[in-house]
Amino acid sequence: MSTIRFLRTFIAVARYGSFAIAAEQMALTQSAVSMQMRALEAEFKHELFDRSGRKIMLNAMGKSLLPHAQQLLSVYEAMRAMAGGLEEDVGPVSIGAVESVVGALAEAVAHLKMTRPNLDVRITAAKSVDLAARVDSGEIDAAVIIDTPGRRPASVQWTPVYSEPLVLLASANLAEAPVAELLRTQRFLRFDRTQRTGVIIDRAMRKQRVKVNEFLELNSLEGIAELVRQGIGVAVVPLLRRSSWTRDDALRVVPLPEAGVQRNVGMLERTQHGKMAVTAAIVRQLKRVI
């Protein structure tokens, strides 16, 4: 179906603003990309690009047609998935994840590839905020990130995967004491407040109404856990689903007195894209792994 192929190329040119880059991404020659776009313009009886500058830009008609092209391609991919299960020729699927989820996501993808070895899934790690922006811009197809309160753009959708309660992490060598006393008297190891997890922890700390002895701020949950093992301080962290903290003789995991504060993990992806059958399968497998 040449029209579907041409629409894929049209969406790639719109995304990258370059016939050359689109050609590279689509495994085509630049002349083939140019020919396909001319064919689409002839089909619609309108030019779709502003070719006056160095960068190829969609003109008003191209911008109007782009969401329809994306929706049509998404419907077509859903039809193919329904007819034949997960297709193996959807092209590379780019998925981002926060650092604490990368291991589980990699395991989920590995299980999926056992039955579909030709699936090409590429995983990258970054902060939730960065990954959300890359999903919205179309740089990556989806991301497993930390949820944040507030409205999301209509261009993206959220699928919950699992939740993690916040807990106090302390050395097992510390004497038994209430959470508030440990927070007040021990050195406090804080997770990076520029990340979504840090914002959630900060919100939980305000509910504790305790002034802590700020000691060190890190952007690694496992790094914080290691410092707690060594007796350097205490921390408030999400209880990672795949951690062994509750079975670690060197650690004490204590629920926070203020219940209901948790970290929600899920998949963010564009509302319409051609790889939704694969991302849905990854979510199902990730839930099994977790």
Same domain, 147 and 281: yes
Last residue of a domain, one of 34, 61, 84: 84
Domain count within the chain: 3
The rounded distance, in Å, linking the Cα atoms of 160 and 233 is 33
Q: Is the pLDDT of residue 84 over 60?
A: no
Are residue 47 and residue 109 in the same domain, yes or no?
Answer: no
Residues 255 and 276 grouped into a single domain: no
- Residue 80: its pLDDT value, please? 63
Residues 135 and 205 reside in one and the same domain: no
**274 and 155: one domain?**
yes
Question: Across 94-108, 203-217, 255-269, which has the greatest mean pLDDT?
Answer: 94-108
pLDDT at 115 over 90: no
Residues 255 and 173 in one domain: yes
What percentage of the chain exceeds 90 in pLDDT? 50
pLDDT recorded at residue 156: 85
As a three-state string, the secondary structure of the chain is CHHHHHHHHHHHHHHHCCHHHHHHHHCCCHHHHHHHHHHHHHHHCCCCEECCCCCCEECHHHHHHHHHHHHHHHHHHHHHHHHHCCCCCCCCEEEEECHHHHHHHHHHHHHHHHHCCCCCEEEEECCHHHHHHHHHHCCCCEEEEECCCCCCCCCEEEEEEEEEEEEEEEECCCCCCCHHHHHHHCEEEEECCCCHHHHHHHHHHHHHCCCCEEEEEECCHHHHHHHHHCCCCEEEEECCCCCCHHHCCCEEEEECCCCCCEEEEEEEEECCCCCHHHHHHHHHHHHHHC
Q: Which long-range contacts (CB under 8 A, 24 or more apart) does 174-179 make?
A: 174/231, 174/234, 174/252, 179/208, 179/254, 179/256, 179/257
Range(s) of the domain holding residue 175: 164-261
Both 202 and 132 in one domain: the answer is: no
Given this model, what pLDDT does residue 223 score?
95
Average pLDDT over residues 204-212: 86
Share of the chain above pLDDT 70, in %: 93
Confidence of residue 78 (pLDDT cuts 50, 70, 90): low
CATH of the domain at 206: 3.40.190.290
284 contact partners, CB below 8 Å, separation of at least 6: none
Q: Which long-range contacts (CB under 8 A, 24 or more apart) does 33-38 make?
A: 33/9, 36/5, 36/6, 36/9, 36/10, 37/6, 37/9, 37/10, 37/13
Does 117 or 85 have the greater pLDDT score? 117
Residue 259: predicted pLDDT: 60
240 confidence band (pLDDT: 50, 70, 90): very high
| Shared domain check, 195 and 73 | no
Give yes or no: residues 71 and 22 share one domain: yes
